Amino acid sequence: MMRTALLLLASALAAGAADQATIEKGQKEEQRTCLPCHSLRIIHTNRLSRAGWSKELDKMAGWGTKYTDRDALLEYLVATYGDDKPVTPPEMSADGRTKQ
Amino acid sequence: MQSNRRQVFAALLAAAAARKVKGADTPAVPGKRPMILHNDRPEDLETPVKYFDSWVTPIDAFFVRQHLPRPAAVDPAAYRLNLTGLVSKPLQVSLADLQNLPQHTLPATLECTGNGRAFYTPKLPGIQWGRGAVGNAEWSGPRLSDVLKLAGVDPAARFLEIDGADTGVMQTPDFVRSMPMEKALHPATLLALKMNGQSPDIHGFPARLIVPGWDGTSWVKWVVRLAPVAKESGGFFMNPGYRYPKYHLPPGTAARPVELEVIEGMPVKSTLTAPEDGSKAVLGPIVIRGFAWAGENAVERVEVSIDGGARWRNAQLSAQKLPFAWRLFTLNWTPQEPGYYTVMSRATDTAGRVQPIVPPWNPSGYLWNGIDRVGVTVEKA
């Protein structure tokens, strides 16, 4: 039991370390490909499975997004905003009323 | 599902607390109070439930859903509405022409089709709306039927196609919708030039469609073209967008595309506004408040439970029992003992529809209308 847990932990750490560079590349790809059309809040409040994120990337490709590193972007989204990640609250906007 | 809701509510409270600390670095949306910021470009803003304290929702607190960037500012003198398609004479109509038609005012509740999406499990892509993508306003303008009469509708027209001035970035599809001519010609369907007596501003200045009782997506903003057509429009926002499965699906499964239907009228629903979820109250009289609405119907009854749904009591309803517009409800409650209470609300409409415990999961997370619930801890004085 203990040994299995340790093995799982080790493999998770290894996977995490191996993915770090990819995740950073994915984050850059997000800046490059998503920001021209919309801000990132609408992405970062979602929590989706790998299949779910992949479908979203396909939808955006259909709407004109040209990926240079789709795989890295997908890895980054799954690692950061996967459906196993806790929900983070949306921020409140600042007061936009004109001061009287 | 319930723990999911708890998480979302807790998250929203945390967001409110975080705002106090963070302050200036979050964007402001002109004309709006601090709102739950799902997105800032384009703007997707949710009303915090605590702002809902009146029958008419003020514009500065009204939710905003933008699919596409807001169109460039419109010069009222230069604005033209194109009447094309199956009409006797194609026509360009000015704002003054619209203002010269008989004006009507209608109170109606506008709800985003995806309000409550965050409560579905498994999770769905899209804006993670909680309970505040809804509002009730007084909309004024000419009847859509009077506008269409200016050009004369060909009897062969079965649908009305509507286009707003907003356009997509790159190849993002244009926001074009259609609705059956019968609804377009309904006397309550308006082309609103005013919202609560003011300019609709971000809510669709200078002309916004009012499709009472139907989902928010039907209420096209910045209307610049009306075209009676023979067939339903086929753009993304009609198909596959904004469709709902004809038959309920096991959660997490795909629908057969042929079994997806355009959403029209909205379900019956209620939302508790007080006490606030997760709040504390002193042992003594407590007023439970909220609002309830029912698409094209009126609300008949709202029941409230303070024991997690074991027993239900009828709440007091505001007097005006109108189709299309929400009713406020209150229940005076004096808990006898301290402790944690689960307060719930359940609406029934004039057609006998009742809010379910479990709304059907659907692949786009539309039409959440589960019995509402909040938790309150009552403490000895």
- The domains of chain A are located at 19-81
Tell me how far apart the terminal alpha carbons of chain A are, to the nearest angstrom: 67
Residues of B with Cβ-Cβ distance to A47 under 8 angstroms: 123
Residues of A with Cβ-Cβ distance to B171 under 8 angstroms: 62-64
Backbone angles phi, psi at B155, to 5 degrees: -60, -15
Residue with tokens 């409800």: B329
Widest pairwise Cα distance in chain A: 67
Distance CA B193, CA B124 (A): 35
Partner residue opposite B39 with nearest CB, options A42, A49, A94: A42
Residues of B with Cβ-Cβ distance to A39 under 8 angstroms: 39-41
Residue of B nearest to A97 (CA): B31
pLDDT at position A99: 66
pLDDT at position A2: 52
Give start-end residues of each CATH 3.90.420.10 domain in chain B.
80-107+136-241
**B28–A94 CB contact, under 8 Å:** yes
**Nearest in space to B260 (alpha carbons), one of B274, B283, B241, B282:** B241
Question: What architecture is the A19-81 domain classified under in CATH?
Answer: Orthogonal Bundle (1.10)
Class of domain B269-379: mainly beta
For residue range A66-97, list pLDDT tens digits in order.
999 999 999 999 999 999 999 999 999 999 99
What single-letter amino acid sits at B52?
Answer: F
C-alpha distances in angstroms, B262 versus B51, B197, B240, B255, B363? 32, 32, 9, 14, 14
Q: Which of A31, A50, A91 to mutate to test the interface with B (most CBs of B within 10 A)?
A: A91
| Continuous segment of H or E residues that includes residue A80 | helix A70-81
| HSE (side-chain half, CA atoms, 13 Å) at A63 | 21
The reply to whether omega before A86 is within 30° of 0 (cis) is no
Q: Which of A93, A95, A97 to mutate to test the interface with B (most CBs of B within 10 A)?
A: A93
**Nearest in space to B225 (alpha carbons), one of B171, B148, B110:** B148
Q: A61 — alpha (psi -120 to 50), left (phi > 0) or beta?
A: alpha
pLDDT at position A5: 55
pLDDT at position B17: 46
pLDDT at position B16: 45
Classify domain B80-107+136-241 at the CATH topology level.
Sulfite Oxidase; Chain A, domain 2 (3.90.420)
Kindly give the parts of chain B with pLDDT less than 50. 1-4, 6, 8-9, 12-23
- B237 contacts B221 by C-beta, under 8 angstroms: no
Residues composing chain B: 381
DSSP for A18-62?
HHHHHHHHHHHHHHHHHTTTS-THHHHT--B-HHHHHHHHHHHHH
Token code pair at residue B308: 């997690």
A vs B, Cβ pairs < 8 A, gives 118
Q: Which residues, other chains included, contact B259 with Cβ-Cβ below 8 Å and sequence gap of 6+?
A: B245, B246, B247
Partner residue opposite A92 with nearest CB, options B7, B16, B39: B16
